[in-house]
A and B are shown apart, each in its own frame.
Chain A
């Protein structure tokens, strides 16, 4: 059984704002019957503020909970704020969703996005040929997931693996043929773990950590440390004071100096005593 938060359970047991608004200003739609979940979001908008919201959802407990809480999140809010709502916000408002169920919050966000797009399309005359060019490429044909949806899921939620993408967007969850494509999109859009430091930046950073973190600790025991040279990832140091005559100096170098630099600067650093 899924581990749902109390809030998720409350919302699927007692969904808020169920139904349709007959004179809705805009209806946002996401999902399909074939995919196993779909959502219709009805919005009433006056003077740039969402005055009422209702939903109809075909889907599991977390899909209903995501839709229900979304209506609560938008009612009474100006459109500038509503536009900023992400799927991560929906999941957060529900006190989290199981990883495999994150796609439910994504569906809620998709319906909201669809509603806003339709609303603005009516307000501002769009150049049709221009919007056609903007149509995003379909990556997963089983669940009809586009590159834009995957890109947004990666950027908003900090996703890093194909499995994450499947949990959040369903892409790759059926035949799996698009998994290679998804990996390429991760490589393209996911934030890289650590930006590579330039040689000068590296030297400055190492020097700073030794001066501010490592040396003060050694000084407490009557010792000290001097930075002699840096050659790529090799850091040459000299222990001073009581440290220089200490039998455990090798231990100090490896387990304290090197591990601190690995932790704070780069995991590739090697410290050599001279």
Chain B
């Protein structure tokens, strides 16, 4: 039995997505660029998928949709392209809590002489917009902010940020990493000031290995991968037809299920979260209650360590993830929780549960039944019994 509560890591491919992909893995294998009748189905399928993704993101034209291999490629294309096209400008602004695919791209640009400002967050994980506003100068080539954070689910006000950027410097480009927002909340780039936006298929029930980059029609980006004329010159390489078809279907289904995410998935997430916080005395929520995507909760268990919690949960078939240093092998705990100033007492014992539209009430009830026993058994081994005793008294 597997209870999968790690949907911010990846998701199950929806059966309906899989079914649509199959013909293009079997009989419809034509190269969509070819000049014969046999390739028409392939090229039409890509056009259909592009239309669906256009609707999903609220783009004005299907020409603004570029298919890539993953979220990281989308981010790399946007960031490296934006700075390459604005060679005279050497300043970039981003946040301290971006995904590593974005942060490490900026680290490499810093080595090339770019100045990067990293905007901090408060204890609730919310961005300091004043700081962001002050940092924008005439030299700012790019601002990049994630739409929702992968670890805490906290949503950043990207529309408001877009307005701030353009009022300070209309030539500064704005890239939004929407990988953790797509399929969970409504994405609408229309009238937004967002110049580029990246999403990844496998976070909303498409397979791994397919992503999208939205590029506003008036923005010119050099390609990251050069070669043929595919994707209107923005991204070379023969189109991955079956995966593009899958992504199109996944986008359509995600759009249909947005209401379900905001009602049912949120209800189950809230049930899980409230139950844990109520029944486990050394549990604390690592973000604000509001302003989050509906599927994510990040809870710190004080004076115990996250990997051990995950190992015990894994024995019960429960999949979650941790901001603990021990799970990554990096020896350093989550950069997101550290930027939020999460105390050391709960930093290493932080667990992220992320649900999907396939999560059932029974699964949530199972976790609520088993988790307190797991936490209790680990808490008993902790050397911080006096601190725990004190915590128990103050919380009860």
Type the 1/0 row for B306-339, where 1 means its CB is closer than 8 Å to any CB of A.
1110011011000000001111011111000000
Q: Given A13-B315, A100-B329, are A58 and B307 also a contact pair (CB < 8 Å)?
A: no
Q: Which residues of B contact A29 (CB under 8 A)?
A: 383
Q: Which residues of B contact A210 (CB under 8 A)?
A: none
Which of A13, A20, A29, A60 lies at the interface centre, i.e. has the most chain B CB atoms within 10 A of its CB?
A: A60
The answer on a CB contact under 8 Å between A33 and B381 is no
The answer on a CB contact under 8 Å between B308 and A64 is yes
Contact of B381 among A57, A100, A173 (CB under 8 A): A57
Residue A63, interface by CB 8 Å: yes
Contact of A58 among B325, B330, B333, B383 (CB under 8 A): B383
The answer on a CB contact under 8 Å between A36 and B326 is yes
The answer on a CB contact under 8 Å between A36 and B325 is yes
Q: Which residues of B contact A40 (CB under 8 A)?
A: 383
Q: Given the complex of chains A and B, what is the CA–CA distance between A33 and B387 in angstroms?
A: 12
Residue B384, interface by CB 8 Å: yes
What's the minimum C-beta distance from A2 to chain B, rounded to whole angstroms? Answer: 8
Q: Which residues of B contact A259 (CB under 8 A)?
A: none
Q: Given the complex of chains A and B, what is the CA–CA distance between A18 and B385 in angstroms?
A: 13
Q: Given the complex of chains A and B, what is the CA–CA distance between A37 and B344 in angstroms?
A: 11
Chain A, 43-61, CB within 8 A of any chain B CB: 55-61
The answer on a CB contact under 8 Å between A18 and B381 is yes
Q: Which residues of B contact A38 (CB under 8 A)?
A: 383
Residue A197, interface by CB 8 Å: no
Residue A76, interface by CB 8 Å: no
Contact of B385 among A12, A56, A61, A166 (CB under 8 A): A56
Q: Given the complex of chains A and B, what is the CA–CA distance between A174 and B330 in angstroms?
A: 8
Residue A34, interface by CB 8 Å: yes
The answer on a CB contact under 8 Å between A60 and B308 is yes
The answer on a CB contact under 8 Å between A63 and B305 is yes
The answer on a CB contact under 8 Å between B311 and A173 is no
Q: Given the complex of chains A and B, what is the CA–CA distance between A143 and B330 in angstroms?
A: 13
What's the minimum C-beta distance from B49 to chain A, rounded to whole angstroms? Answer: 34
In the complex, which residue of chain B has the Cβ closest to the Cβ of A59? Answer: B305
- On chain B, the number of residues with a Cβ less than 8 Å from chain A's Cβ atoms is 28
Contact of B326 among A13, A39, A59 (CB under 8 A): A59
- On chain A, the number of residues with a Cβ less than 8 Å from chain B's Cβ atoms is 30
Residue A78, interface by CB 8 Å: no
The answer on a CB contact under 8 Å between B348 and A36 is yes
Q: Which residues of B contact A34 (CB under 8 A)?
A: 344
Q: Which residues of B contact A19 (CB under 8 A)?
A: 380
In the complex, which residue of chain A has the Cβ closest to the Cβ of B325? Answer: A36
What's the minimum C-beta distance from B306 to chain A, rounded to whole angstroms? Answer: 8
Residue B345, interface by CB 8 Å: yes
Q: Which residues of B contact A96 (CB under 8 A)?
A: none
Q: Given the complex of chains A and B, what is the CA–CA distance between A161 and B23 in angstroms?
A: 52
The answer on a CB contact under 8 Å between B345 and A33 is yes
Residue A223, interface by CB 8 Å: no
In the complex, which residue of chain A has the Cβ closest to the Cβ of B303? Answer: A58
What's the minimum C-beta distance from B348 to chain A, rounded to whole angstroms? Answer: 5
Residue A170, interface by CB 8 Å: yes
Which of B303, B312, B325 lies at the interface centre, i.e. has the most chain A CB atoms within 10 A of its CB?
A: B325
Type the 1/0 row for A158-199, where 1 means its CB is closer than 8 Å to any CB of B.
000000001000100110000000000000000000000000
Type the 1/0 row for A13-40, where 1 means its CB is closer than 8 Å to any CB of B.
1010011100000000100011011111
In the complex, which residue of chain B has the Cβ closest to the Cβ of A27? Answer: B383
Residue B165, interface by CB 8 Å: no
Q: Which residues of B contact A57 (CB under 8 A)?
A: 381-383
What's the minimum C-beta distance from A156 to chain B, rounded to whole angstroms? Answer: 20
The answer on a CB contact under 8 Å between A36 and B305 is yes
Type the 1/0 row for A119-149, where 1 means its CB is closer than 8 Å to any CB of B.
0000000000000000000000001000000
Q: Given the complex of chains A and B, what is the CA–CA distance between A12 and B303 in angstroms?
A: 17
The answer on a CB contact under 8 Å between B331 and A59 is no
The answer on a CB contact under 8 Å between B308 and A36 is no
Chain B, 356-396, CB within 8 A of any chain A CB: 380-385
Q: Which residues of B contact A1 (CB under 8 A)?
A: 314
The answer on a CB contact under 8 Å between A60 and B324 is yes
The answer on a CB contact under 8 Å between B308 and A33 is no
Q: Which residues of A contact B311 (CB under 8 A)?
A: 12, 60-61
What's the minimum C-beta distance from A43 to chain B, rounded to whole angstroms? Answer: 15
Residue B185, interface by CB 8 Å: no
Q: Given the complex of chains A and B, what is the CA–CA distance between A59 and B322 in angstroms?
A: 13
The answer on a CB contact under 8 Å between A173 and B332 is yes
Q: Which residues of B contact A15 (CB under 8 A)?
A: 381
Q: Given the complex of chains A and B, what is the CA–CA distance between A36 and B327 in angstroms?
A: 11
In the complex, which residue of chain A has the Cβ closest to the Cβ of B387? Answer: A33
Q: Given the complex of chains A and B, what is the CA–CA distance between A57 and B305 in angstroms?
A: 9
Q: Which residues of B contact A33 (CB under 8 A)?
A: 303, 344-345, 348, 384
The answer on a CB contact under 8 Å between B383 and A173 is no
The answer on a CB contact under 8 Å between A174 and B331 is yes
Q: Which residues of B contact A170 (CB under 8 A)?
A: 331
Residue B199, interface by CB 8 Å: no
The answer on a CB contact under 8 Å between B329 and A58 is no
Q: Given the complex of chains A and B, what is the CA–CA distance between A39 and B305 in angstroms?
A: 12
Q: Given the complex of chains A and B, what is the CA–CA distance between A252 and B84 in angstroms?
A: 59
Residue B304, interface by CB 8 Å: yes
What's the minimum C-beta distance from A191 to chain B, rounded to whole angstroms? Answer: 26
Residues of B within 8 A of A (CB): 303-308, 311-312, 314-315, 324-327, 329-333, 344-345, 348, 380-385
Question: 19 A-B Cβ contacts within 8 A?
Answer: A12-B311, A18-B380, A33-B303, A36-B331, A36-B333, A37-B348, A39-B383, A55-B381, A56-B382, A57-B383, A58-B304, A58-B348, A58-B383, A60-B306, A60-B327, A63-B326, A64-B381, A100-B329, A173-B330
Q: Other than the known A166-B331, A174-B331, what 15 A-B pairs have Cβ atoms closer than 8 Å?
A: A15-B381, A18-B381, A33-B384, A36-B305, A37-B305, A37-B326, A56-B381, A57-B382, A58-B381, A58-B382, A58-B384, A60-B307, A61-B311, A64-B308, A64-B381
Q: Give the top 10 A-B pairs by smallest Cβ distance, nearest first.
A: A173-B331, A60-B326, A60-B307, A56-B383, A40-B383, A100-B329, A36-B348, A61-B311, A34-B344, A36-B325
